């Protein structure tokens, strides 16, 4: 993922009234319609948070080997190609075992669960603060709607950033250097200072803002164009494809910042480069193509992650709300 990962459920859902049969869900997605009772606001938010967290965890676990491969090329000067990527996967599995392909996934899980929960909550709160928490107000003020998504991304990134750095460190090192997530934090804080855990933070924030904005804008535009062309709302499967396209465009636009972020996160203490110096080094040693290494892999794993996360989110959310209605009856 590029800079703004784990943003799929808030991006791909419509804002509906908080009832059991019209809960916030993707346009055209199927869901339970049994019962017309209204869920409390806290129950609605809680089910969304849990569903989003679980969906994000499943999606990230499914694409973890591709993520590790991408980060490996992002943080090195090794020329990227699909052949080189496959060779890396095979070499890692052969020399370190198949489980090595999921190395760093514990850090990803530790980050993605709170990240998804925080982002869902922040997204709803920022929309309320900015006055775009209804379909009508969001359509009337699209810029504020995009700003709400960007602020949600900044909020969740800010609170979980050290976990993202730990994930990157584990992905590009051997098990002998960092055996556990705790070891990353302890060793980095002791050897490089606590502030190192936030190295690359500002670059990440700069990437999150356009990523979220472009994602929302592209998805909404494609959704409206689909309605114009076909005369009917899109279904769940079409939503997955539209979301994947929006993610691909957003990732392409913000990917250079993701390269700089990863280089800063994984740099040794003796290489304390600023974002500008890091970007200059990438350009000097690898040219402009260096800022897009691994992007084609993102175009593959992105739609996969969107599909898994979207389908899982919808299924879990509807199931939890069925249970909540039954318990409240």
Per residue in 262-305, pLDDT (tens digit) is 788 777 655 556 888 888 888 888 888 888 887 877 777 777 77
Residue 38 forms beta bridges with which residues? Answer: 19
Q: Residue 105: give its domain's CATH number.
A: 1.50.40.10
Please enumerate in sequence order all residues whose Cβ is within 8 A of that of 173, keeping only pairs 6 or more positions apart, or say none.
Answer: none
pTM summary value:
0.62
Task: State residue 270's pLDDT score.
Answer: 53
Q: What is the pLDDT of residue 225?
A: 79
For residue 87, give the 3-state DSSP assignment: helix
For residue 1, tell me if it sits in a domain: no
Residue 36 lies in a domain: yes
Number of domains within the chain: 1
Neighbours of 84 (CB within 10 A): 14
Q: Is the dihedral of CA 7, 33, 125, 106 positive or negative?
A: negative
Round to whole Å and give the CA distance between 165 and 187. 13
Are the CB atoms for 104 and 124 separated by under 8 Å? Answer: no
For residues 118 and 159, is the Cβ–Cβ distance under 8 A? yes
Domain assignment of residue 174, yes or no: yes
Residue 2 domain-assigned (yes or no): no
Instruction: Note whether residue 212 is domain-resident.
Output: yes
Give the tokens for residue 85. 């990527």
Alpha-carbon distance 225 to 46, whole Å? 33
Burial of 319 (0-12, 13-18, 19+ CB in 10 A): middle
> Which pLDDT score is estimated for 268?
63
Q: How far is CA 182 from CA 118, 159, 204, 217, 269, in A?
A: 22, 17, 23, 39, 19
**What stretches in the chain show pLDDT beneath 70?**
1-37, 135, 212-213, 216-217, 220, 234, 236, 239, 268-273, 306-307, 310, 329
Q: How far apart are CA 231 and CA 226, in angstroms?
A: 8
Spatial separation of the C-alpha atoms in residues 222 and 225, rounded to whole Å: 5
In a domain, 246, yes or no: yes
Structural domain harbouring 56: 8-328
Which residue, 12, 10, 42, 8, is CA-closest to 120? 10
| Beta carbons of 248 and 306 less than 8 angstroms apart | no
């Amino acid at each position: 993922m590029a800079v703004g990962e784990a943003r799929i459920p808030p991006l791909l859902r419509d804002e509906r009234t908080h009832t059991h049969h019209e809960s916030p869900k993707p346009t055209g997605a199927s869901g339970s319609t049994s019962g017309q009772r209204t869920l409390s606001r806290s129950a609605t938010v809680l089910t969304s948070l849990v569903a989003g967290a679980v969906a994000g965890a499943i999606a990230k676990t499914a694409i973890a080997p591709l993520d590790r491969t991408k980060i490996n090329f992002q943080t090195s000067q090794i020329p990227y190609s699909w052949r080189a990527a496959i060779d890396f996967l095979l070499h890692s599995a052969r020399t370190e075992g198949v489980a090595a392909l999921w190395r760093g996934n514990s850090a990803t899980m530790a980050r993605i669960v709170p990240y998804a929960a925080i982002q869902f909550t922040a997204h709803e709160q920022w929309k309320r603060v900015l006055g775009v928490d209804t379909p009508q107000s969001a359509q009337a003020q699209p810029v504020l709607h995009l700003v709400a998504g960007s602020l949600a991304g900044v909020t969740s990134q800010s609170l979980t950033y050290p976990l993202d750095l730990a994930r990157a460190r584990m992905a590009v090192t051997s098990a002998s250097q960092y055996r556990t997530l705790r070891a990353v934090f302890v060793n980095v804080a002791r050897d490089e200072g606590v502030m190192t855990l936030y190295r690359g933070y500002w670059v990440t924030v700069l990437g999150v803002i356009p990523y979220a904005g472009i994602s929302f804008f592209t998805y909404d535009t494609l959704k409206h164009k689909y309605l114009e062309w076909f005369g009917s709302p899109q279904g769940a499967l079409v939503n997955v494809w539209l979301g994947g396209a929006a993610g691909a465009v957003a990732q392409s636009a913000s990917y250079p910042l993701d390269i700089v972020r990863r280089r800063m996160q994984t740099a040794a203490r003796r290489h304390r480069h600023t974002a500008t110096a890091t970007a200059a080094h990438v350009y000097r040693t690898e040219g402009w193509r260096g800022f897009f290494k691994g992007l084609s892999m993102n175009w593959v794993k992105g739609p996969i992650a969107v599909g898994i996360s979207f389908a899982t989110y919808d299924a879990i959310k509807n199931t939890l709300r069925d249970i909540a209605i039954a318990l409240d009856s």
